[in-house]
Amino acid sequence: CPLSGAAYLPEYKGQLCRVTKATEIGKESLGLRISMSQFR
């Protein structure tokens, strides 16, 4: 999991991270992106 740093076995791919409950296990990501337009 890129947010929590938790590591999972391959058979958990596609499931929801049990730590953050916000990310999909095995999904590639670019990271958190924040823009000023989100705060308007």
How far apart, in whole angstroms, are the C-alpha atoms of residue 19 and residue 13?
15
1-40 per-position pLDDT tens digit: 777 888 999 999 999 988 888 888 887 777 667 777 767 6
* pTM of structure: 0.56
CA distance between the termini of the chain? 30
DSSP 1-40: -TTT-----GGGTTSBPTTTSSSBTT---------GGGG-
pLDDT of residue 40: 66
pLDDT of residue 21: 86
